[in-house]
Amino acid sequence: MTGTTLPADLTRATAAGLAQALAAGDVSAVEVAQAHLDRIAAVDGTRDADGVATGRAVHAFLHVCAESALADAKAVDDARAAGQTLPALAGVPIAVKDVMATRGLPTTCGSRILQGWVPPYDATVVANIRAARMVVLGKTNMDEFAMGSSTEHSAYGPTRNPWDLDRIPGGSGGGSAASLAAFETPLATGTDTGGSIRQPASVTGTVGVKPTYGAVSRYGLVALASSLDQAGPCARTVLDTALLHQVMAGHDPMDSTSLTGEYPDVVAAARAGATGSLDGVTVGVVRELSGDGYQAGVLRRFEESLAVLTEAGAKVVEVSCPSFTVALAAYYLILPSEASSNLAKFDAMRYGLRVEPGGVAVPTAEQVMGATRAAGFGDEVKRRIILGTYALSSGYYDAYYGSAQKVRTLIQRDFAAAFGQADVLVSPTSPTTAFPLGDKLENPLAMYLQDVATIPANLAGVPGMSLPSGLADEDGLPVGLQILAPAGADDRLYRVGGALEAILTARWGGSVLDRVPDLSAALATAANGATR
Amino acid sequence: MTVTDTTEAVLAYDDVVAAYDPVLGLEVHVELNTATKMFCGCPTGFGAEPNTQVCPVCLGLPGALPVLNARGLESAIRIGLALNCEIASWCRFARKNYFYPDMPKNFQTSQYDEPIAFNGFLDVELDDGSTFRVEIERAHMEEDTGKSTHVGGATGRIHGADYSLVDYNRAGIPLIEIVTKPVEGAGERAPEIARAYVAALRDLLRALGVSDVRMEQGSLRCDANLSLRAKVPGAAPGSAEQRAVPLGTRSETKNVNSLRSVERAVRYEMTRHAARLAAGLKIVQETRHWHEDTGITTSGREKSDAEDYRYFPEPDLVPMSPDPAWVDELRGTLPEPPPQRRRRLQAEWGFADLEMRDLVNAGAVELVEATVAAGAAPAAARKWWSGELARRANADGVELAAMPVTPAQIAALQGLVDAGTLTDSLARQVLEGVLAGEGEPAEVVESRGLQVVSDDGALGAAVDRAIAENPDVADKVRSGKVAAVGALVGAVMKQMRGQADAAKVKALLTERLAPADSTTDVSTS
């Protein structure tokens, strides 16, 4: 990796490149942080006093902490000047999804009910990031409590896709994905309960990984569905993703479901993959995750990726996972059930929003809880709480939650059988490219279908990656390829993803993100037109 | 929802048991004495400033996750084993969902259909020496809630209160809930059996060392369920014909915070149920609150069967499958069952039934045992712990075991009495010094200068002086009124400031004041 030269615009650099330049003293952490803060100021837009996005801009961030970022960066520079040995990513900026508790920084989960809450503690993931001396730039927007595939369910207004500001950036982690595609940060964190890392990566031309369940601590992630949630890395290249993955992962005694034992070296796997050879690797194409319901341009890029994998030496076979066809249905029973219980704690008694009901002189605790939850939760959250409460009710439990858990077992068996035939499985990440804002807001089921290919991995706890496979012919928007591996074999994602990325970027003559429209031009148009 | 605090009609107890067969169900919550909470590292000490023993986990802050206290699981298994239960080879926690301000997460992490221990029994000794077997349905682990204090209003309950305060120090303290199967066949002894069961459970838990079992502090809490059904004429309690009669509607009485209250509450509920049934009224399935002062229960909330806690397996905790070898190892740590142990010690010590019962009730069996082990005679050890020390503990309002004196010190003190160094009254003064932190008994004897004077010269001088100062009394004794010697003994003891052996003083006086016919010899010798 010697001889890497940083681009003149530091925001176009990779995390690996920045890390190397920082270590060599070619650039200071303060310069790097300032460049990204300037970029955020230029493209992210503004928010009103209530935190709601104003005007037509990216709006990837809910909260930017410029002051602490510059202070953290300076501390890194000082430590380096004092001759201290620092972790590999020291001084590299990062954006943190607002679902992660950050000591001293607001954490809202995109919800009105948590407006103003400043956690007294750091999520383990955040603590790991701080221990790695990375520079936190701010908190990124998301669908409220990670429920959604477009960030339109954020109480603070949607994030817009840097490829087309009138389109969604995916969700729930649309803020993190858009911040990467808009070059506001080289790295970001995400959480993935049914595709919230991978689908946004897919529709923004970035890379995102949902690690094996338990690989990254859930302590401090505001829970959506405990048995499905998994935090993971988001970046613009496979290697950068691996570098962040390594910082985030590791056993945590504060999380009972945290994995113990050997965990593979994902950075080494990414570097090995970058050689472009996949000799001896068998790639399984999941028959059920393709075809009907998938956009033509998405399928074309998918076929192309299969050809590239073959070219790299991989053997491509077809596998069948019949139970995947009912994964979505099972998911929408398990998720709301767990969420209805996880979200019960938001009751106005200890933190966050508190709304006194109107027309009652001395309200009871129940009335305050009711009024607060009515005002503080958005429609999608209420929809899922009601669904989950119903599914767990006495007399319905076996038919709904119980049956869904059985489907989950079947999906795990299908995965086991498929991984008996192939080292990794592949599919398009999302059935479509980024759709226009507002397109699916009135049709929750259509929105849910965005995650049809990503959900099985969460139900089985296996790791998955989405990386760019090019642009769809019909709309020129990014298409993502999903790679899935057996539990604990997260390194395979990086090996195969690294190879595919190496070959495709060589073919394209650069990253797919080199083709993101010039945002300053788009924003100028917006300012002049002001039509939306 | 209305609250009725009016006294309800009751039926005379004899009439109740003549017409009805009571069925009990007892739910006991035990706070474990682990150093830290069930799912976080917060301390569990009682009586700290409100909300000082809390963290993100037990406050239910967004993002926080539980981690099981291994010692809590160990205690649960030991309790299960001591209750003759089967231990689950695989079980899980579940979430019990309901909204209440003192529940930080608005769900309680508990166990539902997969308890750690199930199918056991406890043999309970009754006052007449007979034994009644109470069958155990299950013992499961859960976490305690916070504690609400309702301020203002007349009742101290939430209705009518001006505001409520919540202390989360208690939230997350490990609890074991022990649930009996329906207790049938108790008949007229139902109230006594209920009390005896809770007492037996308390003794067992104390012997296990898993809980402080202080009912007044809430570390042992009992909910008593009761229902009545028509008595089958001529059928014995617990007979097949009687058991065939369907169970009546039950009430659940909470806030029963002493052994005596358990007995009284069950008895009261029997008479209340019976009066309603006799009047052709229905029993409402509800929670009742026990009032210690008035000896009655009042209606709490109606508890319908429709109450839906939406239980589901707790996804934040991994299932437990205790290693059978570990369970066997824990079985080896079980104490001798308290009734058996009591019988053995009573026989060894030669105590009467009443003496033994007093020791048990005072929580002094272990203390006496340790005192005996340290060398004291059983009778002397019992006398100290159920006498002087029990009196002092009671006066100070502390547990006997919490008195700042060790069994070894009591044994040493008794040793000084046995050796004649101390009289009983001096020994009590030495104890006072020990309790005041002045050191070991021997050190207190030294520092306070409290030992019996055995110097015959000094004693003889005191005796002579007493005789000289009380010539009238001395003459009475000389003339044969032997009882009068007591006054002289008192005078000598006063001079010696109590540090003399009264028997020896009496002997010296008697010798010097022998009747006149024999004094001649003395005076001429």
Lowest mean pLDDT among A43-57, B168-182, B228-242, B290-304: B290-304
Tens-digit pLDDT profile for residues A257-298:
999 999 999 999 999 999 999 999 999 999 999 888 899 999
Interval A234-240 mean pLDDT: 98
Which chain B residues have a beta carbon less than 8 Å from that of A345?
Answer: 60, 62, 104-106
Residue B3 — pLDDT band, cuts 50, 70, 90? Answer: very low
**Residue B516's pLDDT is what?**
54
Q: Which of B56, B65, B105 sits opposite A344 (nearest CB)?
A: B105
Element (H, E) at B324: helix B324-331
What's the Rg (C-alpha) of chain B? 31
> Who has greater pLDDT, B304 or A418?
A418
Chain B residue closest in CA terms to A343: B105
A117 touches chain B (CB under 8 A): yes
Judged on CB neighbours under 10 Å (0-12, 13-18, 19+), A300 is middle
Mean pLDDT of chain A: 95
A419 found inside a domain: yes
Residue A318 lies inside a defined structural domain of this protein: yes
Q: What is the pLDDT of residues A164-186, one digit of tens each?
A: 999 999 999 999 999 999 999 99
Q: What range does the domain containing A106 cover?
A: 10-273+280-326+407-529
Nearest CA to CA, how far is B134 from chain A (Å)? 30
- Residue matched to tokens 């729930």: A172
| Percent share of chain B, pLDDT over 90 | 62
Contact A341 B310 (CB under 8 A): yes
Report residue B162's pLDDT band, with 50, 70 and 90 as the boundaries.
confident
Report CB contact under 8 Å: B97, A369. Answer: no
A256 vs B contacts (CB less than 8 Å): 65-68, 316-318
A399 in a structural domain: no
Question: How many inter-chain contacts (A to B, CB under 8 Å) are there?
Answer: 101
Nearest CA in chain A to B320: A256
Chain A residues lying within 8 Å of B109, measured CB to CB: none
Chain mean position to CA B348: 23
In a domain, A453, yes or no: yes
Contacts of B236 (CB under 8 A, 6+ apart): B185, B187, B242
| Domain topology for B456-524 | Arc Repressor Mutant, subunit A (1.10.10)
Residue A390 lies in a domain: no
For A121, the closest of B56, B68, B97 (CB atoms) is B56
Domain count, chain A: 1
CATH 1.10.10 boundaries in chain B:
456-524
pLDDT at A521: 76
pLDDT at B6 (0 to 100):
57
Closest CA to A480 of A325, A273, A307, A294: A294
Per-residue H/E/C for A474-523: CCCCEEEEEEECCCCCHHHHHHHHHHHHHHHHHHHCCCHHHHCCCHHHHH
Query: Ramachandran region of residue B189, left (φ > 0), alpha (ψ -120 to 50) or beta?
Result: alpha
pLDDT tens digits, A30-89? 999 999 999 999 999 999 999 999 999 999 999 999 999 999 999 999 999 999 999 999
Q: Looking at the partner chain, which of B56, B65, B164 has a beta carbon nearest the beta carbon of A256?
A: B65
Closest residue in chain B to residue A391, using alpha carbons only:
B310
Chain B 305-364, CB below 8 Å of chain A: which residues? 308, 310-312, 315-318
The 10s digit of each residue's pLDDT in B372-388 is 999 999 999 999 999 89
Does the beta carbon of B164 lie under 8 angstroms from any beta carbon of chain A? yes
The predicted pLDDT at position B517 comes to 53
Contact A404, A336 (CB under 8 A): no
Closest-CA distance, B116 to chain A, in angstroms, reads 18
**What confidence tier does A527 reach under pLDDT thresholds 50, 70, 90?**
low
Task: Kindly list the catalytic residues of A.
Answer: 97, 172, 196
Contacts with B107 from chain A: Cβ below 8 Å: 341, 344
CA quadruple B433, B437, B442, B444: dihedral positive or negative? negative
* Rounded average pLDDT over B507-516: 78
Q: List the single residue in B60, B107, B318 with the smallest CB-CB distance to A256.
A: B318
Tell me, yes or no, whether A267 lies in a domain: yes
Instruction: Please give the torsion angle defined by the CA atoms of residues A466, A381, A254 and A258, in that order, rounded to the nearest 10 degrees.
Output: -40
The confidence score (pLDDT) of residue B521 equals 44
* CATH number of the CATH domain containing A291: 3.90.1300.10
pLDDT of residue B155: 62
Any domain includes A362:
no
Which of B104, B105, B315 lies at the smallest CB-CB distance from A338? B315
The DSSP output letter for B393 is H
Mutation choice for A interface testing from B316, B317, B320 by most A CBs within 10 A: B316
B56 contacts A392? CB cut-off 8 A? no
3-state secondary structure B200-251: HHHHHHHHHCCCCCCHHHCCEEEEEEEEEEECCCCCCCCCHHHHCCCCCCCE
CA angle A362, A364, A367 (to 5 degrees): 110
Q: How many CA atoms lie within 13 A of A313 on its CB side?
A: 11
CA–CA dist A325, A449 (Å, integer): 11
Report the largest interatomic distance among the alpha carbons of chain A, rounded to a whole angstrom. Answer: 74
Is B308 in contact with A107 (Cβ distance < 8 A)? no
